[in-house]
Amino acid sequence: MFAATELSITILFLAATVSYSSAEINLSFQSVTAQQFRTRRFACEVTGENFVAWETPSREASHGQPAIESKNITVGQSSGRVSVERTGNNSYYTLVIVDVTVSDGGKYTCRGSNESKSFTLKVDFLIHGVKTPQRLTYGMQDGTIELGVSAHPPPQYQWRKDGQLMTFPEDGKSIDLYSGSIKITRVGIGDQGNYTCRVVWMAGKPRETEDTVDIEVLVVGSHSIIINSVDFKSLQ
Ligand SMILES: *[C@@H]1O[C@H](CO)[C@@H](O)[C@H](O)[C@H]1NC(C)=O
Ligand SMILES: *[C@@H]1O[C@H](CO)[C@@H](O)[C@H](O)[C@H]1NC(C)=O
Ligand SMILES: *[C@@H]1O[C@H](CO)[C@@H](O)[C@H](O)[C@H]1NC(C)=O
Ligand SMILES: *[C@@H]1O[C@H](CO)[C@@H](O)[C@H](O)[C@H]1NC(C)=O
Ligand SMILES: *[C@@H]1O[C@H](CO)[C@@H](O)[C@H](O)[C@H]1NC(C)=O
């Protein structure tokens, strides 16, 4: 047992020594969590081979969001808010993302002429500027209770209306799995109330993130519709 451990330590040591002397891409992280609207830099060390490009994530269209195409970005190039700089002792190729957004989340690959290494960028949610109260129009109209809170990978949304846990889809209500907003087909008087949404993001492991937002929803309608409905009741 002891001898085996000692042997494997020796092998590890040899492996580390050998690979250090040959061509290598050194990325000292496999996963990084970023906050939205920050600028983040990710250094990739390339030794003994040529740097080719940083490859950005690709994503299939989902939850009503368009597909994202992967791009190869090399030194001095940029694509929107993403660029690559050569830094340090000229052996660091640094990926720079200005104003990180949820759509930046995914797998990035530092590609050399011989080897490549990847890391996953996770983007934490931010509860920011959620409106309250929100007004929905009564009648034959669809309405949305706007939340607009997203993350990569997506968080979980737990909605309550007047303290009661809601499930989706139910009663013509569905949830938008990208933003957490509730879509209502045919807004009714019963949709008025105090809503809370608890947003839980497990991807922040070992520390999960969570936050809760309160939204008061008022149902408004034109006078004629309300008078008509009162008239209708009094006729019965
Ligand atoms: C190229 O990479 C492989 C592993 O991916 C490694 O075994 C080999 O030594 C590398 N070649 C050079 C010239 O360093
Ligand atoms: C890889 O990078 C890390 C952090 O920059 C450093 O501590 C480590 O020594 C590097 N490894 C090699 C083999 O260069
Ligand atoms: C980026 O470059 C690599 C290696 O040349 C290639 O396999 C990959 O398809 C390229 N990706 C894009 C999006 O052009
Ligand atoms: C920069 O490269 C030179 C020559 O390869 C080396 O002697 C020196 O230690 C390097 N400096 C750093 C900070 O890595
Ligand atoms: C929301 O809660 C407050 C405080 O309890 C209450 O005054 C208000 O009428 C409620 N709003 C709705 C739309 O039910």
The answer to whether 147 touches 180, Cβ cutoff 8 Å, is: yes
Q: For residue 37, how far is its CA from the centre of ligand 3 (angstroms)?
A: 28
From 17, 20, 22, the mutation candidate for ligand 1 (largest count of ligand atoms within 8 A of CB) is 22
What does the pLDDT look like over 4-14, one tens digit per residue? 444 444 444 44
CA separation for the pair 191, 68 (Å, rounded): 36
Q: Which ligand is nearest to the CA of 90?
A: 4
CA separation for the pair 142, 220 (Å, rounded): 13
At residue 98, the pLDDT reads 97
Instruction: Answer whether the bond into residue 66 is a cis peptide, omega within 30°.
Output: no
The answer to whether 71 touches 79, Cβ cutoff 8 Å, is: yes
Which of 214, 220, 192 lies closest to 132 in space, CA to CA?
214
* Atom 14 in ligand 1: residue holding the nearest Cα: 23
The answer to whether 147 touches 179, Cβ cutoff 8 Å, is: yes
55 touches ligand 3 (CB under 6 Å): yes
* Atom 10 in ligand 3: residue holding the nearest Cα: 72
Which of 198, 177, 189 lies closest to 143 in space, CA to CA?
189
Strand pairing category for 40-47 and 24-26: antiparallel
The answer to whether 133 touches 217, Cβ cutoff 8 Å, is: yes
Binding-site residues, ligand 5, Cβ < 6 A? 192-194, 216, 218
Length of the chain: 236
The answer to whether 93 touches 84, Cβ cutoff 8 Å, is: yes
Determine which helix (DSSP H) or strand (DSSP E) holds 124, and give its type and residue range: none
Atom of ligand 1 at shortest range from CA of 114? 1
**Alpha helices (runs of H) in the chain, residue ranges in sequence order:** 2-21, 223-235
Binding-site residues, ligand 2, Cβ < 6 A? 20, 26, 28, 45
Q: For residue 19, how far is its CA from the centre of ligand 1 (angstroms)?
A: 8
Q: Exposed/middle/buried for 105, CB within 10 Å: 0-12, 13-18, 19+?
A: buried
At residue 202, the pLDDT reads 86
Q: For residue 16, how far is its CA from the centre of ligand 5 (angstroms)?
A: 64
* Average pLDDT along the chain, 236 residues, taken 10 residues at a time: 44 43 84 95 94 96 90 94 88 96 96 96 93 91 94 96 96 94 94 97 81 96 51 42
* Atom 4 in ligand 3: residue holding the nearest Cα: 111
